[in-house]
Amino acid sequence: MAVADSFTYLLTSYHNSDRVVRLVERIQAEVPDARIVIMRDRDSAPLESTSCEVFINSRPIEWGDDSFLEALLESMSLLKLADNEWLTVLSEDSYPLRSLRDYQEALSLSDADCWLEQSILENPAADDLLGRYLHHAIAIPGSRRGPLRAALRLILPKIGIPVDGGRSGTRLFIRAPRLHRPFGPSLKPRMGSDWFVLKGRAATRILAARGTALERYYRKTFIPSEGFVHTVLLNDNTINNQPVDNHYRRFEGAHARMFTLADFEELLDSEGWFARKILDVALLDRFDIVVGVSTTSFRQ
């Protein structure tokens, strides 16, 4: 008799204690047998209330560098996933749009080792986005905010120096040339969302790549967490991927939209199992009602 699949949710958490606790309660209300682990940034305030395991990252997370990848790999190692165990990575501002029971059933029926987004390959900007993994990312000191940041973003590209960076408050990175790259006909750079889904077998393959030359290479690139996992698994012909991005997002420029109650119908009509950037309590309540669960301790 085949062993039934089990399910683990890894919730990455930096800021809002109430939000991540509510997400834990939502998961527990629907799928009480699931394992829930919070991956909490060590520089964040202690969580006010937890009813699940908490991993504290060994190093503070900085956006854009290798610290998030290190935290993910560290957590995956601590989880010790079984071969038949599904790992879903969520952020504290993720929230289920549909029944988690249906979601887990879809995972079990998928006959896949992972659900990894591959839409980047169809993106007109794919060459530029993948280009981050062909260069060494060098953080620029003092570039988090203010006039210097604005000047660097304007001037450096004009003199032929590519710059990567996110919103104000995060560092800018220079794309520096690399003499040696690991890529070729049998290993192509790939990238996708950090909010991926892996079965134990795929997670074992990722952990086997820890400490390798490929991991060391990726650690020096910009946002390596969006490339390393995808590159390892999507170049492995023994791994069966179902090309799914299970989070619904809508970008406005370089940033994901912060959804409000006015976006309810759009989210309901989407194909995502989860959505990111929902902080509107009334919208969270609506999706609890749709599924028929209660997180009443967080209603306002």
**Six token digits for residue 37:** 């682990």
Q: Which two tokens stand for residue 198?
A: 């892996």
**CA atoms in the 13 A half-sphere facing the CB of 12:** 22
Residues of the chain with pLDDT under 70: 1-3, 16, 49, 119-126, 253-254, 294-300
pLDDT digits 0-9 by tens, 199-222:
999 999 999 999 999 999 999 999
pLDDT in tens, 93-138: 999 999 999 999 999 999 999 999 875 655 656 677 788 999 999 9
Helices marked H in 159-280 — which ranges? 200-208, 213-219, 225-234, 264-269
Instruction: Say which residue the tokens 């169809």 belong to.
Output: 122
Please, are residues 275 and 95 in contact by the beta-carbon 8 Å criterion?
yes
Q: What is the pTM of this model?
A: 0.92
How far apart are alpha carbons 8 and 12 in whole angstroms? 13
